[in-house]
Amino acid sequence: MLKIFKYLQKKDWLLIICSLIFIVTQVYLDLKLPDYMREVTVLVQTEGSKMSDVLLNGGYMILCAVGSMVAAMIVGFFAAKVAAGFSVRLRAMVFEKTMSFSMEEINGFSTPSLITRSTNDITQIQMLIAMGLQVVIKAPILAVWAILKIMGKSWQWTATTGIAVAILIVMLTILIFVAMPKFKVIQSLTDNLNRVSRENLSGIRVVHAYNAEKYQEAKFEKANDELTKTNLFTSRTMAIIMPTMGIIMSGMSLAIYWIGAYLINNASLPNRLSLFSDMVVFSSYAMQVIMAFMMLSFVFIMLPRASVSARRINEVLDTEATIMDGTEKEGKKDYSGEVEFRNVSFKYPDASDYILRNVSFTAHKGETVAFIGSTGSGKSTLLNLIPRYFDATEGEVLIDGLNVKNYQQEALRNKLGYVSQKAVLFSGTVSSNVAYGESRKSSAKDHAIKKAVEIAQGTEFVEKMENQYEASIAQGGTNISGGQKQRLSIARAVYRQPEIYIFDDSFSALDYKTDRTLRSVLKKETQDATTLIVAQRIGTIKDADRIVVLDDGEVVGIGTHHELLKNCEVYQEIAYSQLSKEELEIG
């Protein structure tokens, strides 16, 4: 838990020190009240006392109360400022760290868990700091100061207060040890609930299509019930604290007054007034001691869950990215636009089998190299090694004659125009999605967006939309078709005008006519760039300069469409399963 506080800045510590000063002031004023109460009690019981003296001490009591309230408000303001500032900074750090993760780390945490950690977990820390600064610092000072005030008044009263405090500490200790294991479970159950909710919402079309609403409701109900039951257990356990505290406080007050009545009854007449005033003051101080522990109990309620949250946040921040940044910004000029795989083998972390084995090929500037193979042959995995979503287990991947591991990741990815297997669009507009990552506004940018959409064969449907290029796009592109999403994703890559285009099965949702037209226009517009295409359809790749055939992670053929038809059995099987012999020969 304490480890998380290393991210507090100097200004935070300055505010904490200021809070400490005002807390001490507040405690002093709170503990000064009983002294004035004692004076008022003595004055009221003493004959000949002046009303002005009673009012003066009453005025001091009002000033102490108002001063304590003002100090408490200032402490609350400082605590809120520290807590809110810390949570903002912590959330930014978690997000920035997450952005540096490779797919290996992302998969290790899971997306729902990372969302929970950057929202719910950080909120738990924020609440603890906001409450803790006001209570954790104040409670010990108040308790110690109040105990010093009552020491020496009466050993009977002191013993009564000590017994009450001991019972309180034992009760809190038992409750914390009972509740702590459950608090550790709550956050993982929250992750699970987020996962089920996210899965249900993102797959809502499939859920409706298969009439699986009741099935999804049952899954959600199970996750929700588990979380609810665990929360109820911890809440009910912690709910015992307040009534028990009330019983302890009432019992202690009763014991003090009962002992006081006994002491006063047995005391001589001159000492009775002094004992009575001491009893009133002692009762107030004893209540302050119990109040201090009551305030700490609120923190103890929050502390177990916050400590679990802190551990989960630290797990993210302490995770070392497996893909480290290189130092180079540019490759070799003589190799501009060249992509080379040298004896590349790859297996996923903790996997026993290799996905790719000894893959070697070279794609030169201006060439189109396509990859084809059966499902699971490693096509997409191969392309994912180029932008370093994963690093090759063995061998080298070179861009412009330089190993991708030597590049700064930003510089490497600036060379690439990547279109993923699943078309990804973000909430915004057509323009913001095509020019993704670029915030400048200009007429040249608008022209470039229109040009990119035109090349991607998207002009017709975009200009039919309301507001055209400023038309709204929902998160994930759910308000447009799959083919339209693919065309906008392709337009995004074209807009960037990169050295290397990577199309990971990016034409699958297009009809044959649009596919052919798009590739024809794309070929003209990208003739100075290297193009890498993964496809399932022979028609999409048969015009490529070279085709790499993969089977079970190994290269079983490299050549043109016609060369592979003659000498590659795997390619022949794929080709003849899709097109007739006459169609293939015409191609």
Mean pLDDT over all residues of the chain? 79
Ranges 35-49, 172-186, 553-567, most confident? 553-567
The Cα 518–Cα 487 span in angstroms is 9
Flag the least confident range among 85-94, 530-539, 576-585: 576-585
What integer pLDDT is reported at residue 457 of this predicted model?
79
- With contact defined as beta carbons under 8 Å apart, do 414 and 499 qualify? no
Pairing between β-strand 500-504 and β-strand 472-473 as defined by DSSP bridges = unpaired
Nearest to 395 by CA among 341, 332, 322, 335: 341
What's 121's DSSP letter?
I
3-state secondary structure (DSSP) of residue 347:
coil
pTM greater than 0.85 (yes/no): no
Q: What percent of the chain has pLDDT over 70?
A: 89
Residue 584 above 70 pLDDT?
no
Boundaries of every domain in the chain: 2-318, 335-415+535-587
- For 154-178, the DSSP string reads -HHHHHHHHHHHHHHHHHHHHHHHH
Residue 183 above 80 pLDDT?
no
Superfamily per CATH, domain 335-415+535-587: P-loop containing nucleotide triphosphate hydrolases (3.40.50.300)
User: pLDDT tens, 225-280?
Assistant: 888 888 888 777 777 777 877 787 788 778 777 877 777 777 666 666 666 766 77
In what helix (H) or strand (E) does residue 582 lie, and over which residues does it extend? helix 581-586
Nearest to 188 by CA among 317, 309, 310, 316: 309
The Cα 47–Cα 26 span in angstroms is 34
What integer pLDDT is reported at residue 154 of this predicted model?
65
- With contact defined as beta carbons under 8 Å apart, do 253 and 290 qualify? no
The Cα 205–Cα 474 span in angstroms is 15
Q: What percent of the chain has pLDDT over 90?
A: 0
The Cα 403–Cα 341 span in angstroms is 10
What integer pLDDT is reported at residue 579 of this predicted model?
66
User: pLDDT tens, 475-499?
Assistant: 777 777 777 888 888 888 888 888 8
One-letter amino acid for residue 254 of the chain: L
One-letter amino acid for residue 386 of the chain: I
SS3 per residue for 173-237: HHHHHHHHHHHHHHHHHHHHHHHHHHHHHHCHHHHHHCCCHHHHHHHHHHHHHHHHHHHHHHHHH
The Cα 186–Cα 209 span in angstroms is 33
What's 120's DSSP letter?
I
- With contact defined as beta carbons under 8 Å apart, do 534 and 563 qualify? no
What integer pLDDT is reported at residue 153 of this predicted model?
64
Superfamily per CATH, domain 2-318: ABC transporter type 1, transmembrane domain (1.20.1560.10)
Residue 452 above 80 pLDDT?
yes
